[in-house]
Chain A
C-alpha cells in the first residue's frame, strides 16, 4: 500500500525527521481558515500516488495568497496525468500547501529491503532530486548501499560513512544520524517496504529536511498495521481492482489488452500473459484466483472479467494443486447460467480432479472451447479475441 506525501510526512515527523511546515486542504474554503499561518513562497503540491508530479504540472510555487488560491483552484478536483499514471490520470482530492525552503543542496536517501542479503539497506547519493535509476545507470559510483543488521540496528559509524559520502560538513553529522535513525525506526515500526526521501535538502540555514517522500507499506502486514491501512486512499486505485478486492480477489490487476485471464497461481498467471503475447494477443488483466475454495469466488472473478468492456475473449488456465479444477468448472457454469460472461471462452484444465472438472463442463451443454495445453489455449483465445 502506498501513502500520500502528506501521510508519509506526518508519520516521519513522529520519528523526529524534520519536514517543512504545511497545511493540507481538500477544498477551497479551507484556505481561508489557515492562510494566516503561512509564510510565502508556498509550494502547492497535488496529493496523488505518482512520482514526476512537478513535470506533469501538479506542483506550483505561489508567491502570494492570490496565486496560492488560483493554483489550488486549478488543481483540486482535476485528474493529474504523469508518465506513471496512464492516460486517465489520478484524481487530485487534496493539495498540500507547504512552506518553501531555501535550498543549498539536494541529496537522495532511501531505505528498502534488499532480498539478496535479506536486510534493510540505505541507498544514498549526492545526486538529489534525480531519478535514482538514471543515476545508478550513468554514475553508479555516486550511489552507496549500507546494509543494516536487524539486531544491531543503524549504527553511528554507518551514518558517518553516509555523511562522508554525501560530502556533508561534519557539523551536520548528528542531524543526519538522527534523520537516518528516525527513518529506520519508522520503517520497522510501520512494516514499510520503501521510504524514499528525494530530495533530502540542506537549507541555506544549515538544516537537513525531508522535502519530498515516498512511503510504501508491506501488504502482508495489514493484520498488524490497521491504523495505516485505515488511511489508505482508494480513490488512487483502479475501480475494477477495488471491486475485485471487495469480492475477496486480492490478486487482480487491470492491463491494457483485450483477453481476460483467470488463472490459479501468480507464476502461471504471469506465464499465461506471456503465452498470450507470444500468440500475438494482449492480456486485459492479471488474475490469480488462488486456491478457489468455492465456486462463488470463481463466479465473482468471472463477473469482474466479464464486465470489463475491453475484454473480447476469456482464457481460463488452471493447473490444480490446492485449487480444484471441478470447483473452477462449477464456477464457470454458474457464471454462464447467470449471464455474467458473454465473451467467447477458452478453458484449459489440468491437475487436481481434472476428470470431474471436464465432465462438469461437458454435461453443462454450455458453449466454450476446451484447450489441451497452454500454447493451444493461448492461440485459441487470441483467435477468439480477433473475431
Chain B
C-alpha cells in the first residue's frame, strides 16, 4: 500500500564517503570524504566498511550542528552477515540503533523507516548505509587476489557509505510518499546477473505506485533505481513500456551514474547498498536543493540472496522500495 508522510518530514543533512574507484567516477568531487586506500585506517575490510559509516554519519551531523542526543533513532544497514558494519561502525554514537537488511535496497528502506519514525514521533532520525567492494567480494564471491574473469552482466560493489538526517521543519527535500516492495522470485539464479534478477521487483513496485497514486512517469522530473546496472536498466524500461509506462525521458539508474563506464572497467555498473546511497547524497539530493530536480522517485533495489541460498541453487529473491521526494 501507498504510505503518505503527512507531517512535513524532510531530509535536511547528508554526507557521503567513498573509495578510489568512486573518486575516479563522475561524482568523485562531490564526496565529503575519500580514502583512496579504501582501508579507512582499519585492520580489516569489514572494519573499514564500519568506519565509513561512522565518518558519514559524523559528517552529516556536523553539517547540521547536531550532537548524539539530538538524534532519536538510527536506521542502518549494510551487506555483511548480521549487519556487523553498521552495528560495530556506529557503536560510538549514543543513539538507539535499528539494524536493517534489505541488501542493496537498504538506502531507500532506511530513509523510508526513518521518515515514518520522524513523522510519528516528531524527532530527528538518521538513515545510514554502506557497502565495501573488498568485504562484499570476500563474503559473496572470491578472495580479492583470485585471478578470475567477470561476465559482462556482473556489477561492481560500490565502496561507499552515506548518512541522511531527517526531521520536521528544516531543509528542502520533503519525503512525500513511500511504497515498500514485495519479495519477488525472479527465477534468475545467476549471481552475476543481479540486474535481471532485480528488474522485476523494480517493475512491480513502480507499477503498484503508479496505480495507487494515480500518477504517470511524466509527473516526475526523475525516476532513479538503485543498482540495476546496464542490464537491469534496459529490462526495466522494456517491461514498464509493456505495461504502458514510458520511462525513457526521466529514467536513470545509480549503478550507471556512479562510474564512468566508458573508461572504468566496471562491466554492467555499480551495485551494493552504498551505490544508491552515495549517488543520492552526491548527485540527486544536491540537484534537488539546487532546484534542478523537483519531484523524484528514488527506488532502492535489492537482491536478497545469501551465499548459502545461491549455492543451494535457489533463485534470487529481489525487492524494491520506493521513496517519493519533492522539493519544498
Decide whether A and B are members of one complex: no
Question: What residues of chain A have their CB less than 8 Å away from a CB belonging to chain B?
Answer: none
Question: What residues of chain B have their CB less than 8 Å away from a CB belonging to chain A?
Answer: none
